Amino acid sequence: MTKSCSKTTWVNWGRWLLPLVAFAVVFALARFSAPLYHAPIVQVTALTSSHRQAVVDNFGNHDVTVTQHVTARWLNTKRRGQHVQLTNQYTKSGAVDSPVAKGQQLFVTHGSRTWQVSDHKRDGVVLGLFAMTLTLLLLVMRRRFWLTAASIGLNTLLFWAALHIEVASHQELAFVLFAALAVAFTVATTLFITRWTWLTVVVSTSTILATAAAVLIGYTVFAATGYRGIHLETVKYVTQAPQLLFFVQVIIGSLGAVMDECADIAVALFQLPGPARARFNAGLSIGRNVMGPLIAVLFMLFIAETLTEAVLWLRNGNAISTTVAWVMGLGFAQSLVSAFGIVLAVPLTSGLAAWLAKEVRA
Amino acid sequence: MNAIFLLGLVLLGLMLLVGGAQGISNFLALLANTLLMILAVILMAGGFAPVGVAVVIGLLVLAVTIFMSTSHVQVATTAFVAALLVMAGVVVLVVGGTWLSHTAGFGPEDAEELEGYSLAIGVNFEQIAMASGLLGTLGAIAEAACAVAADVGELGAAATPAALRAVQETIIGTALNTLFFGFFGGFSALFIWFTQLHYPWLQVLNDQLFVGELIQVLFAVIAVALTVPITIWVAKRRA
C-alpha cells in the first residue's frame, strides 16, 4: 500500500521534469540539423590562440577587443568533415559580436582572404524552449491546451496571410488590412473562448469598440499636441509610414489584453442574477481589479525591450532626459494608448453585458 | 504640450472615471513602474551588475504592481509571496536561456541605426539581455498571481480540486492570448521586414532579433504557467 502510494507520488512529481526532457531532446536533435541548411555551418573543435587589446572610446569607456583563432570542422556543404581555420573578433561588451567556445555551431562567411564567423546557430535553443513551453502548458492546461493551441495557430495563419497580402500590395492597404486583421483576430479568438453564444457578440463588440476608441483618443492627442515629444522616426525596422506601423503595433499589441478582460467581465456578468444596474456595477468592480495588472503586463513587455538601447545611449554621452524621450518614449506612448483600451473596455463590456443578459433572458 | 504628458493626463482622467480611488491607485502604480524602469537603466549604465539591478528593481515592480492594484490585502499578500517564488525560478530560466541563445546586444537589422555610436562601452550586453528578459516577464507574473489569488479567495470553501483546476486552465488560457498578441504587435514591423526581403524560414529561425523576441515571450509564458499552480499552492497553505 505505502509502496504504491510513494510510486504515484514519484510519478506525480516526476512529470514536472518532462518539460526539461523535451528541451534536452529537441536541443540535442538540432545539433544534427546542419545538412538542412544551404548556408555553410561549422562546429568549433579547438581554440588555438587569442589576442587581447584594451581600448578606450571618446567617452572614456574602457573595453577590450579580442581576436580568437579557431579550428572548426565543416558540418555541411561539399567540405563536410574537413577542418578549417577561422578568426572571430569581439569586444568584451558584446554589442554586436560575441566570443565563440568549443562545441558551438556557427554560420561562417568567406571574407577577403579567410573564413570568418558570421553568426551563431540558434535553432536548437529556440525550438527546445518552444518544446519545453508546450510540454509545460500541456501539463498545466490538459484538454484546454488543444483549444488554445488551435486558436493561436489559427491567428498565426491569419497574421502570416495578412503580411503577405500587405507586402504584395506595396503597403498601400496597410491600415485597412491591419484593421480587418484585428477584427478577424478578435472574432476568431473570441469564438474559441466563448463558443457561439451571446457572449461572443458582447466580447468581440466591446473589444473592437474599446480598441478603436483608444486609437481615436491617442490619435487626437497626437494631433492636438502636434506630435511634440513623439519621435516617430524611432519606430524600428520601418522604412515608410512609421506612424501607421505605430498604430498597428498598438492595436495588435493590446488586442489580447483587452479581449481577456472583456471575456472575464462578460462571463461573470452572464452568470449573475439581478437587475441590469446591479450587473453593471458588478462588472465595473471586476474590471477595476484586473485593469491595473493587465496594463502592467504590456508596459513591462514593451519597456523591457528598450533597455539595451537606452544603456547604449547613456554610455554614448546622452543626457538621461534625452535618452528617456528618444529611446523609451515610443514604448511609453504605446503602453499609454494600450492602457486607454484596457480602461475603456471595463464600462463598455459591463454595459453591453448587463443590457444583453436582460434581453437574452426576456 | 508634450504628447506623452497629455496621454498620461487623459489616462488619469479615464481611470478616475472608471475606477474612482482605485483608478488613481492603478495610475500611481504605472507611474511608479515607469520611474523604476528609468532608474534601472541609469543604474545599469552607471556600472552596476545588470542582473543584480534587475532582481532588486524587479522585487519593487512586483510589490508596486500587486499591492497598488489590488484592494484586498489577503489577495495581494498571497499573490506577492507566489510571485516571489516564481521570480526565483524565472531568474534561472532567463539566465540559462539567454546564455544559450546568444541573443544579447543588437542584431544585423539594427546596423543602420547604430551608425555613429561607440559600441565598445564597457558594459556587459549579455547581462543586460538577461535583465530585460527577467523584467519583461514580471507584469505577466503579477497579473496571473493576482487573478488566481482573487479567484481562489472568492471560491472559499467551494475550492474543490475540480474548481481549482478550472481556475488554473482559464487563467493560463487568457494570459496566453495577452502575451501572444503582445508579441505580434511589438514585432509586426520586423515581420514585414522579413517578408519583404524574403528571408527563408530557416534564416528567421536563427535570426538574432527573432529568436530574442520569441524567447522573451516563451519566458513569459513559462512564468505564467508556473505562477498559476504555485499561487494556488500558496493560497491553500495560507487558508
A18 touches chain B (CB under 8 A): no
Residue A171 banded pLDDT, cuts 50, 70, 90: low
Report how many domains make up chain B.
Answer: 1
Residues of chain B short of pLDDT 70, as ranges, are: none
Taking a contact as any Cβ pair under 8 Å apart, which residues of chain A between 249 and 288 contact chain B? 249-257, 259-260, 263-264, 284, 287-288
Q: pLDDT tens digit string along A235-291? A: 888 877 888 889 999 999 999 999 999 998 998 888 887 788 898 999 999 999 999
Question: In which region does residue A60 sit, left (phi positive, over 0), alpha (psi from -120 to 50) or beta (all else)?
Answer: left
Mean pLDDT of chain A: 91
Hey, what's the cell of B2? 508634450
Q: A175 and A243 in contact (C-beta within 8 Å)?
A: no
Asked whether the beta carbons of residue B189 and residue A65 sit closer than 8 angstroms, the reply is no
> By the 8 A CB rule, do A205 and A352 touch?
yes
CB neighbour list of residue B197: distance below 8 Å, 6 or more residues apart: none
For residue A2, the model assigns a pLDDT of 47
Q: What is the pLDDT of residue A362?
A: 47
Chain A contact present for B146, CB below 8 A: yes
Of A127, A152, A263, the CB nearest to B174: A263
Residue tagged 546622452 (cell numbers): A318
Residue B192 to residue A252, Cβ atoms within 8 A = no
- Model pLDDT, residue B186: 80
Identify which of A353, A253, A229, A357 has the alpha carbon closest to the alpha carbon of residue A302: A253
Contact of A346 with A291, CB cutoff 8 Å? yes
Hey, which residues 150-179 in chain B have their CB within 8 Å of chain A?
A: 150, 165, 168-170, 172-179
Confidence of residue A48 (pLDDT cuts 50, 70, 90): confident
Report the pLDDT value the prediction gives residue A155, as an integer from 0 to 100: 94
Q: Are strands A83-91 and A115-120 parallel, antiparallel or unpaired?
A: parallel
> Inter-chain contact A133–B218, Cβ cutoff 8 Å?
yes
Q: What is the pLDDT of residue A4?
A: 52
pLDDT score, position A271: 83
Quick check: B26 and A291 in contact, CB under 8 A? yes
Q: What is the domain range of residue B27?
A: 3-114+122-238
Residue A193: pLDDT band (50, 70, 90) is confident
Whether residue B192 lies within 8 A of chain A, CB to CB, comes out as yes
| Confidence (pLDDT) at A283 | 93
Residues of A (137-156) whose Cβ lies below 8 Å from B: 137, 140-144, 147-148, 151-152, 155
Among chain B residues, the shortest Cα distance to A245 is held by B189
For every residue of A118-165, DSSP letters joined together read EEE--HHHHHHHHHHHHHHHHHHHTHHHHHHHHHHHHHHHHHHHHHHH
ipTM: 0.95
pLDDT band, residue A167 (cuts 50/70/90): confident
Mean of pLDDT values over A290-315: 95
In chain A, which residues have their Cβ closer than 8 Å to the Cβ of B124? 92-94
- Cα distances from A16 to residues A10, A145, A147, A341, B1, in angstroms, run 10, 16, 22, 37, 54
User: How far is the alpha carbon of A1 from chain B, nearest alpha carbon, in Å?
Assistant: 23
